[in-house]
A and B are shown apart, each in its own frame.
Chain A
Amino acid sequence: MSENAVIEWIVAMMVLAGTGITLISSLGVIRLPDVYTRAHATTKSATLGILFILLGAFVYFVYVHHIVSVRLLLGIVFVFLTAPVAGHLIIRSAHRSGVPLADISVRDDLQAYLESVREQAAPQAAGSGAEAVAGSGAGAGDAHSGESSPDGGKG
């Protein structure tokens, strides 16, 4: 009986830790200035918090009910694999569609790299297929994002 109580305390601590981390990430969503820093808040800490909660549930079902839930384990692995990929894709699409950085940010290496790639690809763009046209079209949208508009940066 006391063994169950110990397990319940461990599970409660894990769930509480996960909830705290998720709450801190939502604090970051409120406070941070632009979409790139907000992605730092949500993808890192929310993923860690959800992993803590799912591990707590797994420990609970293993030690209290003696069930090793493969579905829960699969869910943990899936969340752990897909959350960083989704965050990376969101930020990549945001940068390529020209979401401005915050006013306090000092350098943007990816912008310079994209411009240099575009200049190299520009002479060949007339002859080649639809991909080069699509790339230069996205570039035209990007080129104006250097001057950050006050609307997006305000937060």
Chain B
Amino acid sequence: MFQTVLLICLFLLTVSFVVALVRIFMRSSTVSDRVLLIDSIGFIIIGMVAILSILLDTTAFLESILLIGILAFLSTIALCRFIERGVVIERKRGD
């Protein structure tokens, strides 16, 4: 019963993953939309890994939760700076 509930949750998270992917590849969405949805896909993957580690009864995957979180946050910040100013790393000239 417990395993069935977890499998259903995994399936529903996959549904919301697919919805985000469809929204990314839609023609009418802007670049900011795509960055937002990539961020939310990172969170969905984190939830999937957590459910999978309950389902497989192991703590081996728990580092990857932290790792995926950090990578999603950093990539979001880099993409935002690129959208806003055209560069990712700014350097001051002259001084």
* A residues whose Cβ falls under 8 Å from a Cβ of B: 8-9, 11-12, 15-16, 18-20, 22-23, 25-26, 29-30, 35, 38-39, 42-43, 46-47, 49-50, 53-54, 56-57, 60-61, 65, 67, 69, 71-72, 74-75, 78-79, 82-83, 85-87, 89-94, 96-97, 99, 129-130, 134, 138, 151-152, 154-155
Contact = CB atoms under 8 A, between A and B. Distances in A.
A18 B48 CA distance: 11
Contacts of B94: 129
B71 to A, nearest CB: 11
A105 B12 CA distance: 32
B44 A57 contact: no
Interface residues of B, number: 51
Given A29-B23, A71-B62, A75-B62, A54 B46 contact: yes
Contact of A50 (B20, B47, B93): B47
B77 A72 contact: no
A130 B9 CA distance: 51
Contacts of A42: 36-37, 39-40
B19 A60 contact: no
Interface of B: 1-2, 5-6, 8-9, 12-13, 15-16, 19-20, 23, 28, 30-33, 35-37, 39-40, 43-44, 46-47, 50-51, 53-54, 57, 59, 62-63, 65-66, 69-70, 72-73, 76-77, 80-81, 83-85, 92-94
The 6 A-B residue pairs whose C-beta atoms are closest, nearest first, are: A94-B32, A26-B16, A93-B84, A42-B40, A19-B9, A93-B80
Contacts of A151: 28
A19 B51 CA distance: 10
Given A12-B2, A79-B43, A154-B28, A22 B53 contact: no
Contacts of A22: 12-13, 16, 43-44, 47
Contacts of B40: 25, 29, 42-43, 46
A67 B59 contact: yes
17 contacts: A18-B9, A20-B12, A26-B16, A30-B19, A38-B36, A53-B51, A54-B46, A56-B54, A57-B50, A75-B65, A75-B69, A86-B39, A86-B77, A90-B76, A93-B80, A97-B31, A99-B30
